[in-house]
Amino acid sequence: MTTARRLRAGALAHQDQFAHYAARKTAAALAATLPLLVTDFDLAVDNLPAIGNAWTRRRFDGGFYLSPAVNPDWPACSLVFVQSVDGNTGTPSPAALGGGATDTHVIYEGLSQVTADAVLAGADTVRGGDVVFGVWHPHLVRMRTALGQPRYPIQIVATLHGMDLDAPMLFNLPELRVQVITIAAGAYKMHDQLKARPWIQPIVMKRAEDLPRVFEALRRAGVARISAVGGRHLATQLIDAGLVQDLYVTTSPRPGGEADTPFYPGSLPARVLVRKHGTGADAGVTFEHRVLLN
C-alpha cells in the first residue's frame, strides 16, 4: 500500500475511533450522578469574571472564576489537577484517584475547559492514551456554543524529544486544530509525520525554557485562554515561568497515585480564593481555586 493510501485508511479508522470515543464520553457524562459541591468560603471580589449556567451553578454551587491574564501579551492560563489526599497526581487514570464524578464532568471536562481556546498537555499525558480534550456533557457543549467557541478547543501538546504521531488518535483527526510545542530536535524527528498532517502546526522553540515566547506567539495568533491539564512536569515549568494564574485543585479523600508525584514540588505562592466540599458519593472530596501570586 502506498503511504498516501495507508494514511487515508488510517485516518478513516481514527475517525471511526473518534466517533465511538465521543459517543462514549457523552454517554458517560450523561449517565453520571453528579453530587453537589457545597461552598465553604468564597473570597472573590465582585469584579472577578465568573462563568456558569443554571446547570453548572447548581452542581458547582456558584460561578466558576477565571482570572485575567497577568501579561497582555500572553493568554490567560489555568491548571486543573486532581490529587490524592497524600498529594500525588501521577496515574494513568487521574479519575481513579477518587476526585469524584463532579470533578470529572463538571470541573475537568467542564468549567475549566468550556471557555478555553486551547487545552495544553505534556507529552506524557497524551502518550499511550487515546484522548481528545474538550467538554462532553450536552449542557457544557451548549454553553461552549453559546460562547461562540468551536466544538473542540485547539489541542496543544508539548514534547521536547518529539512524538510518534501515527498512533494517538489526537494527531490523526484532520477536523481538529492541533499544535505541537517542541524544539528543533523534536521537529526534526517528527518532520515526515508532520508533513503528512497539514492540520498540525508545530511551534518550534530555541530552548525548552522558551515557553513564554510560545505564549506570546499563541496570543498573537488569537489564543486568549488556555486550560492546561498537566502533567506535573509541564505544569511546574508553566508555574515557574509565571504563565499560570488559576489553579483548580480537587483533592480526593483517599491516598493513592504514584509516590512523590505532586503537581508542584515545594511550596507554591498562592492564595485560596474558593474552597468547596463534595457531598453524597463525593463526601470527603475538596475543591480549591487557588490564585497564584505571580
What whole-number distance in Å separates Cα of residue 277 and Cα of residue 143? 24
Q: Given the complex with ligand NAP, which of 17 and 237 has the nearer CB atom? A: 237
Helices 3-31 and 138-146, axial angle in degrees (round to 10): 110
The kind and range of the H/E element at 10 are: helix 3-31
Helix (H, G, I), strand (E, B) or coil at 90: coil
Q: Given the complex with ligand NAP, which of 67 and 84 has the nearer CB atom? A: 84
Please give the residue ranges that form the binding site for ligand NAP (CB under 6 A): 81-82, 89-92, 94, 97, 122-125, 158-161, 163, 181, 208, 211, 229-234, 237
Q: Given the complex with ligand NAP, which of 214 and 273 has the nearer CB atom? A: 214
Q: Minimum distance from CB of 198 to ligand NAP (Å)?
A: 22
Q: Minimum distance from CB of 78 to ligand NAP (Å)?
A: 13
Q: Given the complex with ligand NAP, which of 112 and 115 has the nearer CB atom? A: 112
| CB-based contacts of 213, cutoff 8 Å, min separation 6 | 205, 206
Q: Given the complex with ligand NAP, which of 113 and 159 has the nearer CB atom? A: 159
| CB-based contacts of 189, cutoff 8 Å, min separation 6 | 161, 162
Report the Cα 197 to chain-centroid distance in Å: 23
Q: Given the complex with ligand NAP, which of 91 and 201 has the nearer CB atom? A: 91
Q: Minimum distance from CB of 171 to ligand NAP (Å)?
A: 13
Taking CB atoms, the residue at the shortest distance from ligand NAP is: 231
Number of Cα atoms under 13 Å in the Cβ half of residue 205:
22
Q: Are the C-beta atoms of 256 and 87 separated by less than 8 Å?
A: no
Q: Minimum distance from CB of 70 to ligand NAP (Å)?
A: 19
Q: Given the complex with ligand NAP, which of 15 and 193 has the nearer CB atom? A: 193
β-sheet with 38-42: strand ranges across = 38-42, 270-277, 286-292, 246-251, 76-83, 225-228, 118-122, 154-158, 178-183, 200-205
What whole-number distance in Å separates Cα of residue 227 and Cα of residue 191? 27
Number of Cα atoms under 13 Å in the Cβ half of residue 37:
32
Q: Minimum distance from CB of 46 to ligand NAP (Å)?
A: 31
Neighbours of 116 (CB within 10 A): 27
Q: Minimum distance from CB of 201 to ligand NAP (Å)?
A: 15
What whole-number distance in Å separates Cα of residue 141 and Cα of residue 34? 17
Q: Minimum distance from CB of 83 to ligand NAP (Å)?
A: 6
Q: Minimum distance from CB of 9 to ligand NAP (Å)?
A: 27
Q: Return the bridge partners of 290, or none.
A: 247, 272
Q: Given the complex with ligand NAP, which of 73 and 260 has the nearer CB atom? A: 260
